[in-house]
Structure formats: C-alpha cells, structure tokens
Amino acid sequence: MWDYTDKVKEHFLNPRNVGEIENPDGVGEVGSLACGDALKLTFKLDKDGKIADAKFKTFGCASAIASSSALTEIIKGMTLEEAANVTNKEIAEFLGGLPDQKMHCSVMGKEALEAAIENYKTGSTVTHELEGKVICKCFGVTEKEIETVVLENNLTTVEQVTNYCKAGGACGGCRGEIKRVIDEVRGKLSNDEQPLNKKPSNLTNIQKIQLIQETINEQIRPALQADGGDLELVDVVGDEVIVAFRGMCSGCKMAEFTMRDVVQARLREFVSDTITVTEQK
Amino acid sequence: MKTIYLDNNATTRVADEVFEEIKPFFTELYGNPSSMHTFGGQIGKYIKKARKQVATLLNCDPSEILFTSCGTESDNNAILGTLSAMPARRKIITSRVEHQAVLATCRSLPAQGYHVVEIDVDKNGRLDMTQLEREIDDDTALVSIMYANNETGTIFPIEEIAKLAKSRGVLFHTDAVQAVGKIPIDLEKLGVDMLSISGHKLHAPKGIGVLYIRKGTHVKPLILGGHQEYGRRAGTENITGIVAIGKACELAQQWIDHENTVVKKLRDRLEKGLLSSCKDAIVNGDVKNRLPNTTNISFEFIEGEAILLMLDQFGICASSGSACTSGSLEPSHVLRAMGVPFTAAHGSIRFSLSRYNTQEEIDFVIEKMPAIIDRLRELSPFVK
C-alpha cells in the first residue's frame, strides 16, 4: 500500500474543482488511457487576466486525482505568468509530498497546465508529446520533458526519471538514452560557464568528413543501437550530410525527429552550425 | 469498522483450528527433531503426521511431500533443481501468465544458455495447447505451467498437459498455489511430476510451502547444509509451519465441497450483482473453467488503485491489476497477455473469497460499489 499523506488522501476523497468549464479560455490535455493516467484541465480568466476558475477531470490513481485537485487550488487567482512558473515540486509540496514512484502524477499536473496556457496563447491543442525528440516510445516522453524534470527536481538516476515522468518504465529500451540526457543536463549544471565544446575552425574537407564520421560513431550510433537501430554515413557534399537509417530506425515513425533532433543537432554541436542532414531514402 | 476480506488469493486468515494445533509447538514442544534426546526427537512424529495429512489431500505418498519455506521456494526448487539434474537439455517451456515466482525464475535462465518459451493465452486466458504441443521437443527439460491463475482464477487443463509431457518424456511442474484447497486434486490420476503449494493461501500461516515430487524424479536440492527432509532441503524444520499446513490440508479436505457450493454461490452472487448495477463492467478470464472463489472484473475508464482506496474506506479488501497498484508502470502481465485493452486493464478489480465470507458481506459490497464507480467516472475525462 502506498504511503500517502493525509492531504493526498483528503484531496483524493474530496477533490476540489472537478469538472469542465464551459467556453474555457484555456484547455490542456495530457496523458492517455494506455499510459494509465490522463488529465484534462480547463481555466477561465477574469478581466484582470487572473485565473478566475480552474477545473479538472482525471483518469488515474489516488495521487493523480489529488495532484490535479491541488493544481487547480494552486493556480486559482494567479496571473498566467505566475501560473507558468508553477513547478511539479510545488504541486507535490502542496500535498505534503508524494511517494517517489508517484512523482509523475505531479509532473502530469504541471504539463497539463503548460498545455492549457499554450492553448490560451496560441489556440494550439497539439499535445506537446511530440515536441522534440521522443526518448521513451512506450509512454511518449520527449527529451525536453526529461530535461525539465531532471533540472527542476535535481534528479541523478534513471530510476528517479522513471518515477517522475514514467520514461523508461515499460520496455526499458530507452534507459541508455535517459542516462545520456541526465549526464548532459548534469554536465551543463556543473560547468555552466564553459561552452559545451570547442568547434574546430578552418577544417580541410577531409578533416571535416573525418570529424563527421567520428561524431556519428561516438555521439549518435550508440543511442540508436540501444533502440535496435543504426545509422550510416553515405556522403558529404559541402555542408550537406547524407545519411541512411538502418535496422529498427528505417521506417520508424520517429525517424524524422531523430534525424533533426539527434543527428543534425549533434553534428551542429560538434562539427559546424551550418550543417544540414538529409536522409537517403 | 468491520473488515470485509475479499483478497484471499493474496493471503488468507489462519484457521482457528490451525492456530490451536500449533500453539504447543511454541511453548512445550519446542525441541529439535534432529536431537538425540526424547524431548527433541518426539517432534519427528508430528512432522510425519503432517506429511501424511498433506499427502491425503493430494492423494499421493507421504514420501513425495517436501516441506519448503513458501510457494516461491517450491517453484524455484522445482525449476532450478530439475535443470541441474538434467544438464543435457536446454529448453524450458512455461506460460506468459505465470506468477512471478515461476516467470522470473525462468527469465533468469537465458543468461545461462537456456532457451525459454512462454506459451500464449487467448482473450479468455485459455492456454494455447497447439503451441505447447509444437514447442515440446527433445531438448526440452521441463514444462512449468500453473494450475490456476491467481488473477483471473482460470484453470488450465493440467491432466491433458501432463499426458502430453509424459508422452514426450518431458518433466512437468505445476504451480498449484491457487488451486490446492479450492478444487479437488488427485495426484494419482493427474500424472504431474512436481506441484507447488503455499500454506498461507489455504489458512495456514506464512512461511511454509510444499513441493510434491513424484517418486523417481531427480531434483537437486536448492538449500544445502543438513540431512533434513531426506536430504532434499537442509535447515531445521519449521515445525509450527509444517504442523499448520498439515492441519490446513486436513481442513481443506473437509471444506472442499463447501468451497465449490457455498463459496462459489457467493462469488456468483457478487459477480452478478456488480455486473447488473455497474455499467461498462466486464469479467476477465475463462468463466467456464474457473476457481470457485475468484472473480476479476474490469470497470472501464477508471483506474483500479482509486477504486481500491474507495473500497478501503468501507473496510472492503480486494486487489487490482492496474499499473499503479504494482508500483510498476504497466498493468498486469496476465491481462496484457490476454489482450485486455488498456481501457479495461487499468480498471480491473479482483475479488477472491474464502469460507469465512458471508452473504451479508457480499451484499454490502454490491450496495457500495455503484456509487464508487459513478464517483470515479464523474472524475474521468474519458466518460462523456
């Protein structure tokens, strides 16, 4: 049995602000039935731009319901700028804490809030699940989401990341990738001032091609191989790098994101800002 | 608040008769049966009696009964013990819906060069016998398939599997932890080579299990260090546990008809009552071949842990196959193997009864459940 605080139990048994606001100013929906929890948040602003009312509907366990209830209580009366700064930590703290394995419930609350604010500002209802590279395909968790939970909650292990955002909690195929994200974020934290790496200037064509090959071998392929895929360098024409996906990556729905957010991003980071990557079909 | 205990597949209360029976072994009769003095030596006869009580329930010879510390140890011993006694064969066949005691043990073996095959089940949880028949080959050391599933209560065709295994010269172990005491079991007729029992599932205390090993079956011991249990398991005998499981088996014999009439009727009453008062509720498992005490019902669009905590408010104890209750992030491997959709798997609740339940208790659950389901569905974004 979970060790829930009295406040979690109280918000689960008597949740505040249940329902859906008619003609809301912002709507945020995150999660899915498959994932085991989902939250729909709606809010309405008053004439001063403050959140006058917020309501939720949640599918999930006791801590998911309590976190949603807490979220609506926290943001009522806030301006959108204030609300945008609410972290999952604040939601958990409001409830007197959550069990480690249930921290993802507070993260879901924060993500629904982000989505609702985004919806108010741009009218977009695109779930942010596909914003950036998807690392955990089982639960649709992106690199950006993982970075956020690592930063905001000062996480250091893959297990903690799983507790906070579910990534890596099913097939486990992405645990290596999650470790990389943690290392990168932690690396950035420890030497914030230093540039990540020095890009060489004035490369000869041969040196550049060698550096591209090296970067692909060291920075990109291990991550793809961990997911059962691979990548091959086909050609380099000026700043255009032509590659081909192999194994699980070929024909993968996420390949487009992988191409842009991993392959191109790494090559720009390590070789040159002007590199573009295209896939040989 | 009164506790309404409907989680008997998880564990059971120790029968009063069992408790009375074991008391002297904590106080006056605390000797070690291996001792050379009468005070210790006299304990041996109680072990002998318990072995006979267990053997009588299962219709086997007392010498085929090995006392262990739990069902999990029995399963481990059966699987690991036969493999090391049969080093030439490298294949193990099990099912996708086994208890972790079997599944995790089997899944640890590929690292040692073994080939493990997990047989599928259909949407009602029935075993794919064609696949099983196809998979058993000359390289197969062991088939380990459970007698009845702990989550859905589905009973597998054990006699048929035993025949099949025997005809191919392959050993067959069955984890019967959920079946013993709930349905009649006749080992002479059944033809299995090994069978696991857990004491605390049949009103004995935790910490005692049994592994039945058919005469002539080579099983290496898991625990070394003494001559106890005819050299098959070292360690000073758990006398209170052994006496308890003996008594519990004797009682099970007396109650087995009750289990299949009165308890079954209560289970059916509960199931019928919940299905008629709660919308979008589905029974999981093979309702034709099922333990008399178990029902597994999915309440769609809501989550199991939330249901359990609401039931807990009324003192009602059940369990769920939802992801949240396990601490893992995926719903029950049994329901997923059956292809139960996520919409239903997350909201599955298992009620498992015992001879201690009453009709008043069942009616109380039927009365309280609809409001709980309605309340959670009001909260659910998937219900319009």
**B279 and B222, same structural domain?**
no
**B337 and B262, same structural domain?**
yes
Over chain A, what is the mean pLDDT? 85
Q: How far is CA B139 from CA B91, B93, B98, B143, B165, in A?
A: 6, 11, 22, 12, 13
* Boundary (domain end) residue, out of B251, B272, B289: B251
Tell me what pLDDT residue A253 has: 63
pLDDT at A130 over 80: no
In a domain, B384, yes or no: no
Residue of B163 and A255 predicted with greater confidence: B163
Record: contact A62-B306, CB cut-off 8 A: yes
Query: How many A-B residue pairs are in contact by the CB < 8 A criterion?
Result: 72
**B281 and B220, same structural domain?**
no
Q: Indicate the number of domains in chain B.
A: 2
Measured between CA atoms, the residue of chain B closest to residue A18 is B379
**B207 and B184, same structural domain?**
yes
In the sheet that holds A240-247, the strands lie side by side as: A229-237, A240-247, A276-279
In a domain, B304, yes or no: yes
User: Which residues of B are tagged catalytic?
Assistant: 324
Which member of B304, B327, B381 has the closest CB to residue A101?
B327
Tell me what pLDDT residue A8 has: 95
Region of residue A166 (phi > 0: left; psi between -120 and 50: alpha; otherwise: beta) = left
Q: Which residues of chain B make contact with A60, given a CB cutoff of 8 A?
A: 303, 306, 324
Tell me what pLDDT residue B278 has: 95
Q: What is the CATH number of the domain that holds B68?
A: 3.40.640.10
Interface of B with A in 63-92 (CB under 8 A): none
**A245 and A146, same structural domain?**
no
**A215 and A265, same structural domain?**
yes
In a domain, A196, yes or no: no
pLDDT at A124 over 90: no
pLDDT at A218 over 90: no
* Boundary (domain end) residue, out of A93, A122, A151: A122
Q: Which residues of chain B make contact with A178, given a CB cutoff of 8 A?
A: none
Which member of A29, A38, A61 has the closest CB to residue B324?
A61
**B50 and B153, same structural domain?**
yes
Q: Tell me how close the Cα of B305 comes to any Cα of chain A, in angstroms.
A: 5
Express as a percent the part of chain A with pLDDT over 90. 37
**B354 and B205, same structural domain?**
no
Record: contact A36-B380, CB cut-off 8 A: no
User: What confidence category does residue A257 fall into, taking pLDDT thresholds of 50, 70 and 90?
Assistant: confident
How does pLDDT run across A64-111, given as a tens digit for each residue? Answer: 999 999 999 999 999 999 999 999 999 999 999 999 888 889 999 999
* Boundary (domain end) residue, out of B251, B280, B295: B251
Which of the residues A35, A136, A165, A249 is marked catalytic? A35
Confirm or reject contact between B323 and chain A (CB < 8 A). Answer: yes
Length of chain A: 281
Confirm or reject contact between B113 and chain A (CB < 8 A). Answer: no
Burial class of residue B184 in the structure, from the number of CB atoms within 10 Å of its CB (0-12 exposed, 13-18 middle, 19+ buried) = middle
Q: Which residues of chain B make contact with A112, given a CB cutoff of 8 A?
A: none
Residue B270 contacts residue B351 (beta carbons within 8 Å): yes
Record: contact A169-B329, CB cut-off 8 A: yes
Q: Which residues of chain A make contact with B331, given a CB cutoff of 8 A?
A: 36
Residue of A137 and B296 predicted with greater confidence: B296
Domain that holds residue B275: 4-10+256-379
DSSP annotation string for A120-186 = HHH-----GGGSS-EEETTTTEEHHHHHHHHHHHT--SHHHHHHHH-TTSSS-TTHHHHHHHHHHHH
Record: contact B302-A59, CB cut-off 8 A: yes
Torsion of CA A62, A65, A66, A69, to 10 degrees: -170
How does pLDDT run across A36-69, given as a tens digit for each residue? Answer: 889 999 999 999 999 999 999 999 999 999 999 9
Tell me what pLDDT residue A195 has: 47
Q: Which long-range contacts (CB under 8 A, 24 or more apart) does B320-323 make?
A: B320/B347, B320/B348, B320/B349, B320/B350, B321/B151, B321/B296, B321/B345, B321/B348, B321/B350, B322/A36, B322/A61, B322/B346, B322/B347, B322/B348, B323/A36
* Boundary (domain end) residue, out of B193, B220, B251: B251
Distance CA B296, CA B101 (A): 21
Tell me what pLDDT residue A48 has: 92
Our answer to whether residue A174 is catalytic in this structure is: no
Residue of B286 and A220 predicted with greater confidence: B286
**A160 and A235, same structural domain?**
no
Record: contact B324-A60, CB cut-off 8 A: yes
Residue of B282 and A122 predicted with greater confidence: B282
Low-confidence ranges of chain B (pLDDT < 70): 324-329
In a domain, B84, yes or no: yes
Domain that holds residue A172: 131-190
How does pLDDT run across A158-214, given as a tens digit for each residue? Answer: 888 888 888 888 777 788 889 888 988 888 766 554 444 567 777 888 888 888 988
How many helices and strands (H and E) does chain B possess?
A: 15, 13
Q: Which residues of chain B make contact with A15, given a CB cutoff of 8 A?
A: 379
How does pLDDT run across B134-184, given as a tens digit for each residue? Answer: 999 999 999 999 999 999 999 999 999 999 999 999 999 999 999 999 999
DSSP annotation string for B302-336 = S-HHHHHHHHHTTTEE-EE--HHHHSSSS--HHHH
Residue B177 contacts residue B150 (beta carbons within 8 Å): yes
